[in-house]
Amino acid sequence: MHDGYHNLSIGRMSCIYCTVLRTPCVYQRQNHKLENSLVSFWRLSLGKIPIRKVFPKEVFPSETFSIHIKTILLVVLVLSLAKVTAIADTNLANAEQETLTSGAELNVAIEFKEVADGIYVRYGKHEPVSAKHIGNIANHGFIVGETGVAIVDPGGSEDVANSTLSAIAKITQLPVTHIIVTHVHADHSLGLSAYKSTRLSPKPVVLGHNNLEASLSHNLAFYAAQFGYSKHTDKILQLIKSGMIQPVDTERVFNLGSREITVKAFSTAHSTSDVVVYDNKSKTLWAGDLLFVDRIPAIDGSVLGWLAALESLAKLETKIVIPGHGRSGEYDLLMQPQLEYLNLLVSYSREAIANGLSLNTFLQKNNGVFSADKADQWELFDTQHKVNLTRAYTELEWE
C-alpha cells in the first residue's frame, strides 16, 4: 500500500493519491480506504517519497511535470488539513453542546431518587463552595401532584435547572406550576436564571422569602465575581425586575391537586431569607439549609435565630426530612448532631464572653476543643468551623 506508508487507519475515505489523480493505486490497483494517507501525502508533496514509487511513468511523463504535480499536491494537502480541522472543530462543538443538553439528561434518571410518593431528590456533593462545584453541592428536587409539579430549589446553575426540567419530563407531562427558592445562597438560587426566558407555559410562580429579592440584588455582583456566572446573575436581575418572584411573609399554601404544599418563612437563621417546604400528603419536609447532614453547618445569619427556627420545625409531623445538604431520613435522627453543634457554639461563646476572652483567644481555644471531639463528624470542618465560631461570638457579644 503505497510503499508501506499506509499503516494507521484514521477514517473511511478514499486514498488521496487515487482520488486527486483519479487513477488506481499502483500497488493495490483499487481505490482503497484511507489509512495514514495524510502523512504519506505530506511526505510525497515534499519529495520524501519519489513519485515514481507511487505512480507509473504514464501518469508523470517527466520530472518537470512531476514538480508541478507536487505543488498541486501540497496545496491540496493544506486544503485537506483545513477541512479535517474544521470537521474536528464542528464535532467537538457538537459534543460539548450534547454534554450541556442531552448528555446531561442521560444521568438524571439515576441522580434523582424518589424518597416518598411523588417526592424526587438529587443529592449534592460535599465539595467546597467554588466556581467548580457551586452547581452541584446542594440538594434540590421536585414534588409531583395531580395537577402540577413544584420544584424545590432551582440549583446552582442553568445546567442543573435544565436537567431538572428534563427529569420531570421523563416522569410526568404535568406542568411546572411552582418554583420555591429556599434561600439566597448561590448553590440554591443561581439556577433561577434558566427561568428568565423559560419555555414553560404558563410561567410558573416563583416563591421565596420576602427578603429574597433584596438579598439576591445585594449578593449577585459578588456571585458573578466569585463564580464567574455573570450571565446567570444578569438574567436573575431581569427576573427580579419583572416581578416574577412572589414574596412569602410568614406562610403560603398552594395545591397540586390533592397535594397541599406549605411554604413557611423564618426570621434570620441560617441566612436572612430561609423558607422550608412541607408536603402535607407525605409529611415530607424540605428543610433547605436549616438542616445540614454530615456537612458542617454554615452560619450566614444568626445562630440564635437558627435554633429558634429548628424549635418551630420540631413541632411539625415529619416522616422524612430532606436537608439542604446531605442524606434525607428521620427528622430527629438527622437533626440531633446539628442541634448539638449549634448549642455548643452558643455555650462556648457565652462562656468566653463572660470570662473576658478576646475573639482571637476564643478562636484558638475553642477550635481546639471542637477539633478534638467533633471535627471527624463533619465534612469540610476546617473550611467552615472558624467562620461559625466568629459569627456566634460576635452575635452573642451584644446580648
Sheet of 320-325: strands edge to edge?
Answer: 251-255, 260-265, 275-279, 284-292, 320-325
Q: What is the pLDDT of residue 68?
A: 53
* pLDDT tens for each residue of the chain, 399 residues long: 333 333 333 333 334 333 333 333 333 333 333 334 444 444 444 454 454 444 444 444 554 445 555 555 555 555 555 544 444 444 433 333 333 333 333 343 348 999 999 999 999 999 887 777 777 899 999 999 999 999 999 998 888 999 999 999 999 999 999 999 999 999 999 999 888 766 777 889 999 999 999 999 999 998 888 887 777 788 898 888 888 899 999 999 999 998 999 999 999 999 999 999 999 999 999 999 999 999 999 999 999 999 999 999 999 999 999 999 999 999 999 999 999 999 999 999 999 999 999 999 999 887 777 766 677 889 999 899 999 999 999 999 998
DSSP symbol at 66: H
Dihedrals φ, ψ of 326, to 5°? 105, 180
CA distance 271 to 211: 10
Helix (H) or strand (E) holding 149: strand 149-152
Single-letter amino acid, residue 97: Q
For the chain, how many residues are written? Answer: 399
Q: What is the pLDDT of residue 74?
A: 56
Closest C-alpha among 191, 220, 231 to residue 104: 191
Look at residue 37 and give its three-state secondary structure.
helix
Residue 69 has, within 13 A of its CA and on its CB side, a CA count of 19
- The domains found in the chain, sorted by start residue, are 16-100 (no CATH), 105-327 (3.60.15.10)
Query: From residue 107, how far is each of 54, 99, 103, 160, 167 by CA, in Å?
Result: 51, 11, 8, 11, 9
Inter-residue contact 249 to 265 (CB < 8 Å): yes
CA distance 201 to 255: 18
Look at residue 151 and give its three-state secondary structure.
strand
C-alpha cell at 15: 486514498
Q: How many CB atoms lie within 10 A of CB 70?
A: 16
| Entry pTM | 0.72
